[in-house]
Amino acid sequence: GEVKNNYLVFHVLPALIAALDREQSEFVRPALTRALAARHQEPSARQALEPLIMRGEDYFRGSLIDALGDHGAVWARAAIAEVAQLDGPLQDDAILALGKIGDAASLPVLAAIQKSARRETQPSLAAATCLITKDCTTHIDYLTKTLIYAASDEQYQTLLRSAAFALGTLSRKGN
């Protein structure tokens, strides 16, 4: 109840936030940021996490962006949208996080990205749009056909991974 929540906010959360300054283990830091993301509605957690969306090692940033998406951190949408617009290793994570957040304000950003996105980014855009609009029939059909097509030729392995990743995200979200 309330006593447990107060203990978390006044004792555990400050300890986790303090650990952000020193924890650099590739195994521990993602779990640490995921734990903080689970408490993203607390102002102190939000204040600690927000700058980490845009700076730091990509591996840790990707983990944080994924966690914020999983926990529906609407407040992080604008910063995650900035990452989604950058062609690079975090683009798919950011696009899917926007979908998991589910805010329709992300749809214009996704539409703009789709116009110039690489073929391998299109599956994430389809999955994110499906998650936001809940209109998934055509997106799942596209992803399924892409998966089958890409599996038929070794030169499309990156596209195959992208389609499988997007379908896996939809599956984890109950679709």
**Mean pLDDT of residues grouped by 10 in the chain (175 residues)?**
61 90 93 95 96 95 97 98 96 97 98 96 98 96 97 96 96 88
Tokens of 155: 């030169």
At 173 the pLDDT is 87
At 105 the pLDDT is 97
- Among 92, 22, 23, 90, residue whose Cα is nearest residue 58: 90
The answer to whether 133 and 63 have CB atoms below 8 angstroms apart is no
Question: Which DSSP symbol is given to 85?
Answer: T
CB neighbour list of residue 63: distance below 8 Å, 6 or more residues apart:
29, 30, 33, 34
Q: In the structure, how many helices (H) and strands (E) does the chain have? A: 11, 0
The answer to whether 71 and 101 have CB atoms below 8 angstroms apart is no
At 2 the pLDDT is 61
Euclidean distance between CA atoms 98 and 84, whole angstroms: 8
How open is the CA angle 168-173-175, to the nearest 5 degrees? 80
Q: What CA dihedral angle connects 162, 165, 170 and 174, to 10 degrees?
A: 170
Look up the pTM and report it.
0.92
At 156 the pLDDT is 96
At 113 the pLDDT is 98
